[in-house]
């Protein structure tokens, strides 16, 4: 990779899925088609049909969503690599996207990744019965204010559970907990005194089927611990910043433990991106560049709110997106 480029590959998580995702790449790149077929064979499931035809109700099932997203992201990365020799400076994946990032870095292969997240998705869904937990987006307050709000809600009733789950970007925090706490919080948020008072405060219920990244997910952690103990990990080929601590490591045991703890731990996305930004502040001539590898543009929107410098962002949704990035990257390395 060119020494004149600070480039971060970012891999999306649950919520980025849509019917038809990856179809353009599947029809135009052999390596993408081979990746989806490898993942389908590993799961004995037709991911091509699931991704391209849905229905959306099936694609949105957590046990289906997670392997579909990971396979799509690994396929997109393989396209970029085969077309341009792409190697990022560093990578990060949002929640389940961390498996995509680690697969891209060579820690394990695509088959291993999709098998793991299939088990992960099923375990996370089964940890809490449908209807007994959920997630909310808190828009406006700072991270510290969001944490204080959760503690205030929990203090109102010993049965309430509400935690800061995803630190997505400044002014956007996702909360996770049991349905009793969520229902109470929605009706009582106007009574909480945010200091200093934000310009706006909104609490938006999310269309998810479980309280991900909260202590209610502890049963799923044990399932993944049992599974990952028997999975061989390799040292990553490039840095992968992990969600649980916003740090990268080459220690295989630490990588594995971080993946396990991530299930009930918070997603430190803002800090993960900040670690990349801060690492490159000493370079006045380089601009930070990001490529969202996989379906959707969810992370692109978050990046623009975290890195307010002059940046470049690429996506990999379709053929033209890929061509644009390949042209950009190839010129830098010619």
Is 213 an active-site residue? Answer: yes
Is 95 an active-site residue? Answer: yes
In the block, tokens 């992990």 appear at 242
> d(Cα 77, Cα 95) in Å, to the nearest integer?
17
Please give the C-alpha separations between residue 74 and each of 10, 108, 290, 330, in angstroms, as whole numbers. 11, 11, 16, 20
* Nearest residue to 182 (alpha-carbon basis) of 131, 142, 140, 144: 131
Marked catalytic residue, from 40, 89, 95, 272: 95
Biggest alpha carbon distance in the chain?
Answer: 62
Vertex 9: Cα angle to 49 and 33 (nearest 5) = 25
What 8-state DSSP symbol labels residue 198?
Answer: P
Marked catalytic residue, from 84, 209, 213, 266: 213
> Which strands sit side by side in the sheet containing 239-241, from one edge to the other?
239-241, 90-93, 6-11, 288-292, 312-315
Q: In this structure, are residues 108 and 234 in contact, taking their beta carbons and an 8 Å threshold?
A: yes
**Which residues are designated catalytic?**
95, 213
């Amino acid at each position: 990779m060119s020494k004149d480029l600070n480039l971060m590959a970012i891999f999306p998580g649950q919520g980025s899925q849509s019917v038809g995702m990856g179809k353009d790449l599947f029809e135009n790149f052999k390596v993408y088609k081979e990746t989806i077929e490898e993942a389908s064979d590993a799961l004995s499931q037709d991911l091509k049909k699931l991704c391209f035809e849905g229905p959306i109700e099936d694609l949105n099932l957590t046990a289906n969503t997670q392997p579909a997203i990971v396979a799509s992201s690994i396929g997109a990365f393989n396209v970029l690599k085969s077309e341009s020799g792409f190697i990022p400076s560093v990578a990060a994946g949002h929640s389940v996207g961390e498996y995509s990032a680690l697969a891209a870095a060579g820690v394990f292969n695509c088959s291993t990744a999709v098998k793991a997240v299939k088990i992960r998705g099923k375990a996370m869904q089964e940890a809490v019965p449908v209807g007994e937990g959920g997630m909310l987006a808190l828009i406006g307050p700072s991270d510290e204010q969001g944490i204080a709000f959760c503690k205030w809600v929990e203090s109102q009733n010993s049965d309430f559970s509400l935690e800061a789950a995803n630190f997505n970007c400044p002014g956007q925090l996702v909360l996770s907990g049991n349905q009793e706490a969520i229902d109470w919080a929605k009706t009582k948020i106007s009574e909480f005194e945010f200091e200093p008072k934000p310009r706006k405060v909104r609490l938006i219920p999310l269309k998810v089927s479980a309280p991900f990244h909260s202590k209610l997910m502890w049963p799923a952690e044990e399932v993944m611990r049992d599974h990952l103990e028997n999975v061989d990990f390799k040292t990553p080929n490039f840095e992968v910043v992990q969600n649980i601590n916003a740090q990268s490591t080459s220690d295989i045991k630490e990588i594995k433990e971080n993946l396990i703890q991530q299930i009930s731990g918070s997603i430190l996305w803002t800090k993960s991106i900040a670690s990349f930004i801060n690492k490159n502040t000493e370079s006045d001539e380089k601009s930070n560049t990001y490529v969202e590898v996989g379906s959707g543009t969810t992370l692109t929107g978050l990046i623009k709110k975290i890195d307010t410098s002059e940046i470049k962002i690429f996506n990999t949704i379709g053929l033209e997106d890929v061509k644009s990035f390949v042209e950009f990257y190839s010129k830098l390395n010619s």
